[in-house]
Amino acid sequence: MSASIYRRIYRQLLSGVLLVCLAVSSAWAVEPFKIADIRIEGLQRVEAGTIFASLPFQVGETYSDDKGSLAIRALFGLSLFKDVRIEIDKGVVVVVVQERPSVADINFTGLKEFKPDVLTRVLKDIGLGEGRPYDKAIEDRAIQIIKSQYGTRGMYGVEVVTTATPLPRNRVNLNFNVIEGSVATIKDLRIVGNVAFAEENLLDLLKLDTGNWMSWYTKSDRYDKNKLNADLETLRSHYLSRGYLDFKVDSTQVAISADKQSIDIVINVSEGKAYAVSEIRLEGNYLARETEFLTKMAVKVGEAYNESTVAQTLDGFSKLFGDFGYAFARIEPKNVVDAANQRVAVVLQASPGQRAYVRRIEVQGNLRTRDEVIRREMRQAEASWYDGRLIRLSRDRIDRLGYFTSVTIQNREVPNAPDQVDLVLSVVERPTGNLSIGAGFGDAEGLSLVAGIEQENVFGSGQSVRFNINTSSFNRTLQLSTTDPYFTADGVSRTYDVSLTTNKPLDTQGGNYEIVRKRANVNFGVPISELDRIFVGAGVESTSITNGQSQAQQAFASEFGSPATGIPLTLGWSQDSRDSFLAPTEGRYQRVNTEMSVAGDTRYIKADYQFQQYWPLTKRYTFAMNTEVGYGKGLGGKSFPLLKNYFGGGLGSVRGFEQGTLGGVSPSASSPNNRSLDIRVGGSKSILLNTELIAPFPGVGNDRTLRMFAFVDVGNVYCTASATVNCASNALRASSGVGISWISPVGPLRLAYTTPIKKEATDRTQKIQFQIGTAF
């Protein structure tokens, strides 16, 4: 059969098909008409109003095929119906729908890695939840979402089986049976293409690894795409900080084993060549202060190009522009590269913009703390020129309040106002209150109750209240203190403190002595600069000792009487430039305090000096030092009161030695040769040096609330030997160790494992020590 015959037959068939289509189209087509009524059929749970709101026509309007098509698309777009069709019955538009089943309940079985609530929230984000429409497509998507969630935990072999159980009224119960499997770990991690640096040194820079002794906590051997990207950026920074401007990551290959239990990662890099800085140029507008800006220059001619020092320089320039009032200054590095000679000229182009003033200061995140408590620490005022120094000072003052775990101040541009800026001050509050109630029973002390209430930020007012009570038979305490940091509008603080303590020996110690101390005092803190404050105070105290257990206690009662009264006056000074009260990383703290009793039975003077310094070694590591010196002396021919002595040992002093055991001892009055009954009485002089290297805890990034530290402590407490006090060796004691600090809801917690490196045979030591308190 010829080709022409085939073509003729083909044209005849095509014509026939077209005629049939036209006939069908004519049969389906509806001539436009005026809608007499609209009727909905097939509804079970969906409200009719939902459908009426989606229709592009109403009763009385003209209906056409185009509007019908739009209506069908709109109703399918609601994702509520499996089928939608429109029928015409004598001017009535009949919308016939078939609803999708709704989800009555979602259950999970086999979960160990996730809580059901977590996955329920994730599925709700994709539209699958109780009361939502159900179809197979969204079920399949839910399975993939669940698998991806497990993928973030390094579990790639997870299997998910769903069961949809039909219920009356067109509903279904969904059950996700999850077979989790085990975690896939990184079996091999390699870097290919490196020449200048050894692979093992580069791998040490990465957070991902093939596992180590801390992997159970850090999860460093679990693959995570975000962690890998961060590690690639770390590699890039490492090379760019050593002059390798052409460094690049060519590719990364991540291969998972057939059983989905292990992962191999290969990172391919091209190092390029190292460049040295040939010159430095400042271009643009530097406010005719180039000399001042050059003092912030960290880049050095002749040294290898270092992206870190360039970033440090840009940060220094930006802060300096801010100090001059230019909130949105732009400094752009424009490197001129001489590839042939492996040299680079660093050109810093500056555009300060307009000098700005602060239009508004917006405080965010203070759900409990009142605005005024924060704003009164601000030194940058609204409707005044922008000053970077005052803004940094304000941030530090707010952080030093101790009410927040994070304080940041960001600039926000004002639309169409280049000479204005808004400051957004964001804080993250921490729990500042603590309620503790406890009870104990022992053979020695019997039943004892302990209760305490402490609130550093009462009702968000910035005032603090502390109340403690201990009903132990041998150590009773009742204390109440309150501080108003802004007793006056100028920032003068006022503190009231009253206390009553009673101490008795345990039955195993023998004796029946009792020491009763009563004290009441008031102190005022007067600010004399942004960082400095003078403290003055006065008080009255009374100390009674009955049936003195130790020879020193008997001597105290004999010399000063019982009760012994005193009227101590205090005068002190403090300076605080730390960037944080709870977790400082830089700055200095100094304190001098003198206490003198000028009236009453006890006459003495006591002076203390404390010095703290924090040096940021990097963004993650801080070196800290704390020094304390104390000296006490009796006046008017009287001895320095025993109960005013210094005590050393334990956290807050020389760690590794039992709390308060350094210094002199007083033999028992009844059994002077029984060393087990000796009482530690401290001494009138003390010296202390603490040093710490502080780092974030592995796996928590730069979170300052959980940190670890290594330390070395040196110090001792010195006494004057007498007939009633035996003084231990005057040699300094020393210890070293490691520890963890955590800013918990109940306050700063510190746990240390210590080893004394210089001690005497009679010293009491401890390996593990725990404390709730501040740093050092």
pLDDT given at position 472: 58
Residues 443, 508: Cα–Cα separation, whole Å = 10
Share of the chain above pLDDT 90, in %: 59
Rounded (10°) angle between helices 388-399 and 307-323: 100
Helices and strands per DSSP (H, E), number in the chain: 13, 36
pLDDT given at position 24: 34
> Do you find a cis peptide bond into 568, omega within 30 degrees of 0?
no
Where is average pLDDT lowest: 142-151, 305-314, 722-731?
722-731
The residue among 147, 120, 113, 117 whose CA lies nearest residue 219 is 113
pLDDT given at position 434: 66
What is the pLDDT confidence band of residue 650, given thresholds at 50, 70 and 90? Answer: confident
Residues in the chain: 776
**Is residue 543 scored above 80 in pLDDT?**
yes
What is the pLDDT confidence band of residue 376, given thresholds at 50, 70 and 90? Answer: very high
Segment holding 701, helix H or strand E: none
What is the pLDDT confidence band of residue 632, given thresholds at 50, 70 and 90? Answer: very high
pLDDT given at position 28: 47
**pLDDT mean over 299-320:** 94
pLDDT given at position 281: 95
Please, is 91 exposed, middle or buried when counting C-beta atoms within 10 Å of its C-beta (0-12, 13-18, 19+)? exposed
The residue among 280, 274, 281 whose CA lies nearest residue 341 is 274
Give 702-740 pLDDT, tens digit per residue.
677 789 999 999 999 998 877 667 787 788 999 999 999
**pLDDT: which is higher, 151 or 545:** 151
What is the pLDDT confidence band of residue 330, given thresholds at 50, 70 and 90? Answer: very high
**pLDDT mean over 161-190:** 92
Residues 582, 121: Cα–Cα separation, whole Å = 35
**Is residue 4 scored above 80 in pLDDT?**
no
The residue type of 726 is N
Where is average pLDDT lowest: 268-272, 277-281, 643-647, 730-734?
643-647
Residue 698 phi, psi (nearest 5): -55, 135
**pLDDT: which is higher, 665 or 574:** 574
Give the per-residue SS3 of 166-229: EECCCEEEEEEEEECCCCCEEEEEEEECCCCCCHHHHHCCCCCCCCCCCHHHHCCCECCHHHHH
Give 217-231 pLDDT, tens digit per residue.
788 898 888 899 999
**Is residue 447 scored above 60 in pLDDT?**
no
pLDDT given at position 85: 92
Residues 457, 429: Cα–Cα separation, whole Å = 11
pLDDT given at position 104: 92
Q: What is the mean pLDDT of the chain?
A: 86
**Is residue 13 scored above 50 in pLDDT?**
no
pLDDT given at position 244: 96
Residue 735 phi, psi (nearest 5): -155, 165
pLDDT given at position 328: 95
Q: Which two tokens stand for residue 291?
A: 């000399």
**Is residue 245 scored above 80 in pLDDT?**
yes
Residues 50, 43: Cα–Cα separation, whole Å = 11
Rg (CA), the chain: 38
**Is residue 14 scored above 80 in pLDDT?**
no
**Is residue 2 scored above 60 in pLDDT?**
no
Where is average pLDDT lowest: 66-80, 440-454, 461-475, 673-687?
440-454
What is the pLDDT confidence band of residue 552, given thresholds at 50, 70 and 90? Answer: low
pLDDT given at position 436: 56
Those residues whose C-beta lies under 8 Å from the C-beta of residue 670, and which sit 6 or more positions away, are 510, 511, 549, 677
Residues 162, 174: Cα–Cα separation, whole Å = 7
**Is residue 441 scored above 50 in pLDDT?**
no
Cα distances from 478 to residues 173, 451, 466, 481, 539, in angstroms, run 60, 10, 11, 10, 17
CA 502, 503, 506, 509 torsion-angle sign:
negative
The residue type of 532 is D
